[in-house]
Amino acid sequence: MRWSWKIGEIAGIGIYIHATFWLLIAFILFEDWSQHHSVSAAVYGAVFVMVIFGCIVLHELGHALTALHYGVKTRAITLLPIGGLASLERMPDQPLEELWVALAGPAVNVVIAIALYGVLLATGGRANLAEFRWQGGNFLNKLMVVNVWLVLFNMIPAFPMDGGRVLRALLATKMEFTQATHVAARIGQGIAYLFALVGLFTDPFLLFIALFVWMGAEQEAAMAHMHTWVGSVPVSQVMVTNFHALQPDEPLSEAVQQTLSGWQYDFPVVFGHHVLGVLTRDDMMKALAQGGAGGLVRDAMRRDVPIADSYDMLAKTLSMFHEHHCRSLPVEHDGRLVGMLTMDNVGEYLAIQSALGRAKGKGKKDGLQPPAARGETML
């Protein structure tokens, strides 16, 4: 995420703080200062918030490490003023695996709350769930209360909360994934209505949560729809078949010529019909800047490129784009290069399908998010 600073790394997962998070800290410092006119009160408030966000990082690690157990990597954990965001590369495909990944986050807060309860009892303190003041009061008791809140809030059975994923995973053991998502999204929107209604008469903050829940449900439903949609389309139907390939011994000037005369950014480098690598536009530019147009394609090309099979389903290859940070993939079949799959082309394909679907009157909305965002778990 842009405007994020890395503050550390745990189990290979980068922990980032978003710039707006510092605004939150600054806001709390300012609020406490203007109310109490004491530096210690302001610092106390800021430290309390940072400890809460420490608990949220542990919550995210609960999701991330459970996902890792099922072979799913987490790209980053980012702290935002509204909570944490673990960017999982994808959600595990099995409903029960999604269930455990979703439950692992809140479970961490349950453990923290119980541990704090234990410490409070052992140190002669009094655990009181009803007691919460921003300033003053027992620090550990307050932290326990916050962790209980985090569990309750996250277990609301609506996207984008963990409870929404738990609900969907439970439904998905009984029905097909898209249908489960649909039912879960509907339930989530029902809850959003309820929040909005109660919020109108009580706390306006509930209106804000209602909006958040409503949008989460919409987005999840659209993504699930798209996921099954692209899931049943073979790569061969979407790939570019009209493209140029380069030979490893050709000079870069040939690549320059091809780039200027055509539409292509990335070129497969082939020996016979076999793919040796890909010369990307960025790599070409770097090589040109370093050694001019006389350098050879083989020295500038990227060799560790993933290769798709034309019989693969599109959903499978889309995650390859993100895992390998590339914009195009060579497509082979039986060891022969048969096409190129580019992000642009996939986007075009989806736009066309969406238009055709609307024409049939059963199409879905515009603005579908790329499936890479699927699986991002908040809080």
Phi-psi category of residue 341: left, alpha or beta, with phi > 0 → left and psi -120 to 50 → alpha: beta
Phi-psi category of residue 14: left, alpha or beta, with phi > 0 → left and psi -120 to 50 → alpha: beta
CA of 78: how far to CAs of 14, 21, 91, 196, in Å? Answer: 8, 10, 18, 28
Q: Name the helix (H) or strand (E) containing 144.
A: helix 139-154
* Rounded least distance, CB 25 to Zn ion, Å: 22
For residue 135, the number of C-alpha atoms closer than 13 Å in the C-beta half-sphere is: 14
Backbone angles phi, psi at 190, to 5 degrees: -60, -40
DSSP string for 70-132: TT--EEEEEEETTEEEEEESS--SSHHHHHHHHHHHHHHHHHHHHHHHHHHHHTT----TT--
* Rounded least distance, CB 66 to Zn ion, Å: 11
Binding mask 55-94 for Zn ion (x = CB under 5 A): ----------------------------------------
* Rounded least distance, CB 62 to Zn ion, Å: 8
Binding piece for Zn ion, criterion CB under 5 A, among 116-124, 160-168, 188-196, 296-304: 160-168
* Rounded least distance, CB 377 to Zn ion, Å: 5
Please give the structure tokens belonging to residue 287: 């090589």
* Rounded least distance, CB 59 to Zn ion, Å: 6
Residue placing its CB nearer to Zn ion in the complex, 55 or 269? 55
Binding piece for Zn ion, criterion CB under 5 A, among 12-20, 93-101, 162-170, 209-217: 162-170
In the window 338-377, what residues touch Zn ion (CB under 5 A)? none
Please give the structure tokens belonging to residue 281: 């536009």
How many residues bind Zn ion, per CB under 5 A? Answer: 3
Residue 379 touching Zn ion (CB under 5 A): yes
Residue 105 touching Zn ion (CB under 5 A): yes
Residue placing its CB nearer to Zn ion in the complex, 95 or 160? 160
Work out the number of other CB atoms within 10 angstroms of the CB of residue 31: 14
* Rounded least distance, CB 139 to Zn ion, Å: 24
Binding piece for Zn ion, criterion CB under 5 A, among 39-47, 157-165, 169-177, 271-279: 157-165
Among 98, 162, 283, 376, binds Zn ion (CB under 5 A): 162
CA angle 10, 79, 204 (to 5 degrees): 150
Please give the structure tokens belonging to residue 16: 């980032």
Binding piece for Zn ion, criterion CB under 5 A, among 87-95, 102-110, 298-306, 317-325: 102-110
Binding piece for Zn ion, criterion CB under 5 A, among 98-106, 238-246, 278-286, 298-306: 98-106
Please give the structure tokens belonging to residue 301: 């090309």
* Rounded least distance, CB 257 to Zn ion, Å: 52
Measured distance CA(328)–CA(39) in Å, rounded: 55
Residue placing its CB nearer to Zn ion in the complex, 17 or 329? 17
Residues making contact with Zn ion (CB under 5 A): 105, 162, 379
